[in-house]
Amino acid sequence: MHSYFKNELLEGVVISGGEPLLHGDCIDLVRLIKSYGFKVKLDTNGSFPDRLEQVLADGIDYIAMDVKAPLELYPAIVGRAIGSNDLQRSMTMVRASRIAYEFRVTLVDQLFQPNIVHGMGNLLKGASNVVLQPCSNAAFLTCGIEKIREFRDTLAGFVQSCRIRET
């Protein structure tokens, strides 16, 4: 290991973006970081399941996957067509892996409707770790903590663990 990597303060690296798996060389970056003995956390939106499958196989240490909405609402929410099969495949792989993970849901007031909450519950069904967080983008109305707690309480019937990450 190079001496400049010997640092008792650094245990791991978070690879985030945009979408880091958009770049094919992200897989090589994960391998390089792991070769130096560091842990790797990947933040992803799940739109590149083949690349995600590879980093899962390479022994990544933690996955945080953003889940935006029920599948039928994804194009309207993200502003472009996204393959629901890709998202479902990614979610299935993450759930089936033996790697620690979280499905992360950023809540905005505009999405807080009963049909959407139940649609999210169905999409996340069986997940071991779901994290709800308020949106910090000024262009959207952030849900108040009471609404976020309501969302958590509803999702609790679908998933093993659902918690709120307060900023």
Residues 6+ apart with CB under 8 A from 122: 70, 158
> Exposure of 121 by Cβ count < 10 A (0-12 exposed, 13-18 middle, 19+ buried)?
buried
Class of domain 12-164: alpha beta
Please give the average per-residue pLDDT across 90-98, as a whole number: 95
Whether the CB-CB separation of 41 and 64 falls below 8 Å is answered with: yes
Domain boundaries defined on the chain: 12-164
Query: Who wins on pLDDT, 143 or 12?
Result: 12
Q: What pTM value is reported for the model?
A: 0.87
- C-alpha dihedral sign at 114, 115, 119, 125: positive
Share of residues in the chain with pLDDT > 70 (%): 89
Whole-number pLDDT of residue 81: 73
The region that residue 43 occupies, defined by phi over 0 for left and psi between -120 and 50 for alpha, beta otherwise, is beta
Quickly state the pLDDT bin for 19 (edges 50, 70, 90).
very high
Residue tagged 């071991």 (tokens): 128
